[in-house]
């Protein structure tokens, strides 16, 4: 059972364009939604995260939009740059109880052409 | 120096061999995790440990075992490796309280022939 569905699987964007990656979740107990960025040969690293008490969070060129009623959240990369080329993973977790762990989407390979 | 280190970085082994992947961290975190990454399948949790005395199975623990030797060390073992365990393996750590951020190591690329 895939609890976090991510799309698209791959994305090609021109330099300066907007990259949009979408995720949908099923478990209404999820209350933390991070995005991780992974460059080739490296481990994933936290990029930006949001909690469901806000609908949007922006950090520089990266924005998370969150729609609680639709159980969807998305990552928007404005003015995309070749250096943004990487694999992006959305994830979700629940703080319910004393035991929590991240459930990851399957990832999106983003290529930004110069 | 890296906060989360993994050894070896690359390993080629044969079917049926026992292999151990090691993870060490200098972040002082209590929580440690082992993930497996396959193309198109994302990151899947194998085992996780919230402290030295706590070990929990993740979604794909069959064929794997772990050992938490100390707060800073968490090892993953394949008792009898098989070809479909060929993958990229990541160790991660996180704090027990406060931020939920997980910090990943550089990964171990394992090939089972």
Cross-strand bridge partners of residue A6: A23
Cα separation, B47 vs B61, whole angstroms: 6
Q: For an interface test with B, which of A30, A41, A97, A101 has the most B Cβ atoms less than 10 Å from its Cβ?
A: A101
Cross-strand bridge partners of residue B20: B77
* pLDDT confidence of residue A29: 86
CB atoms within 10 A of CB A97: 7
Average pLDDT over residues A80-98: 87
Using one digit for the tens of pLDDT, what is the confidence trace for B30-51?
A: 999 999 999 889 999 999 998 8
| Beta strand pairing call for A19-25 and B73-78 | unpaired
* pLDDT confidence of residue A94: 81
Residue A43 Cα, gap to closest chain B Cα (Å): 5
Is the pLDDT at B21 greater than 70? The verdict is yes
**Lowest mean pLDDT segment, chosen from A13-22, A87-96, B57-66, B70-79:** A87-96
Q: Could B50 and A9 be called an inter-chain contact, meaning their C-beta atoms sit closer than 8 Å? A: no
Higher pLDDT, B59 or A11: A11
Of A93, A95, A105, Cβ closest to residue B42: A105
Average pLDDT over residues A98-109: 83
**Who's near A94: CB < 8 A, 6+ residues apart?**
A27, A29, A30, A31, A32, A100
* pLDDT confidence of residue A96: 61
Here the tokens at position B97 are 């309280």
Cα separation, A65 vs B89, whole angstroms: 30
């Amino acid at each position: 059972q895939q609890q976090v569905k991510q799309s698209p699987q791959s994305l090609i964007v021109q330099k300066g364009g907007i990259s949009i990656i979408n995720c949908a979740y099923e478990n209404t107990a999820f209350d933390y939604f991070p995005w991780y960025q992974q460059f080739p040969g490296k481990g994933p690293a936290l990029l930006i995260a949001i909690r469901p008490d806000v609908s949007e969070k922006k950090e520089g060129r990266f924005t998370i939009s969150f729609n609680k009623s639709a159980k969807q959240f998305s990552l928007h990369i404005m003015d995309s740059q070749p250096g943004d080329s990487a694999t992006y993973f959305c994830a979700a977790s629940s703080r319910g109880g004393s035991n929590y762990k991240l459930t990851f989407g399957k990832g999106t390979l983003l290529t930004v052409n110069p | 120096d890296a906060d989360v280190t993994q050894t070896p970085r690359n390993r080629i082994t044969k079917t049926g061999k026992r292999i151990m992947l090691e993870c060490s961290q200098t972040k002082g975190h209590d929580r440690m995790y082992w993930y497996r990454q396959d193309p198109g399948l994302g990151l899947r949790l194998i085992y996780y440990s919230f402290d030295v005395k706590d070990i929990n199975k993740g979604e794909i623990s069959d064929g794997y075992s772990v050992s938490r030797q100390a707060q800073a060390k968490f090892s993953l073992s394949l008792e009898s490796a098989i070809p479909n365990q060929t993958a990229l393996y990541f160790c991660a750590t996180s704090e027990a309280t406060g931020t939920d951020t997980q910090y990943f190591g550089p990964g171990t690329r394992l090939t089972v022939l």
